[in-house]
A and B are shown apart, each in its own frame.
Chain A
């Protein structure tokens, strides 16, 4: 547990969770994406859909996307990517495929590594850089 408080927005406009640092009001916006898995030889994959409009909606509080895959009755380790980094991958590294207003991202998991469209996303596994532990 990292000690952050969480709140679920009453009205759904794209954010799943607001994460708040109580003592100073620091706010993080979080969008959780889950997927079933497709098993492969010694690996598995998951598929996620992200709204292009939401991804491009850069505001002063960036969204953190958290990607989770259900595999063998367990959740994979979270892949945590801040909005501007995911948008950068999409626009400049050809990560994901766009259709009908959504981007589909295919994540491949093998040997503790994650790849998406040929890009190594391993560095984003459990990347809690923007959620440092808070001591209460």
Chain B
């Protein structure tokens, strides 16, 4: 499966994670029961607390954003890239089947 791009926009008070409508449509076609979200906002303080106590935030963001919670469905995705929307830089990348959430 093609790479899924998650846009990351750094705002004054936190990060907005979003996917484009074409990716949402693609996911809905692939998994009709999926409910992909437009975007998820996480404040800087929430992110840092979460990463101290739980782990890397991105590993928990992508299932919520893509609206897919079934592990076998998630494993069908190839690489998931977190892209800084302003610079185009890859901030983080992961492959669900290699992840242990």
Contacts and interface: CB of A to CB of B under 8 A. Distances in A.
Interface of A: 53, 56-60, 62, 84-85, 87-88, 91-92
B86 A58 contact: no
Contacts of B21: 84-85, 88
Nearest to B8: A58
B13 to A, nearest CB: 10
Interface of B: 7, 9, 11, 16, 18, 20-22, 38-39, 41, 85-86
Contacts of A56: 7, 9, 85-86
Contacts of B85: 56-58
A58 B22 contact: no
A87 B86 CA distance: 12
Contacts, number: 38
Given A88-B20, A88-B21, A62 B86 contact: no
A53 B22 CA distance: 21
B20 A92 contact: yes
B22 A88 contact: yes
Given A62-B38, A84-B38, A57 B18 contact: no
A56 to B, nearest CB: 4
Nearest first, the 3 closest Cβ-Cβ pairs linking A and B are A88-B20, A56-B85, A60-B41
B9 A57 contact: yes
Contacts of B9: 56-59
Contacts of B38: 62, 84
B66 to A, nearest CB: 15
Contacts of B41: 59-60
10 contacts: A56-B7, A59-B11, A60-B39, A60-B41, A84-B21, A84-B38, A84-B39, A85-B21, A87-B20, A88-B20
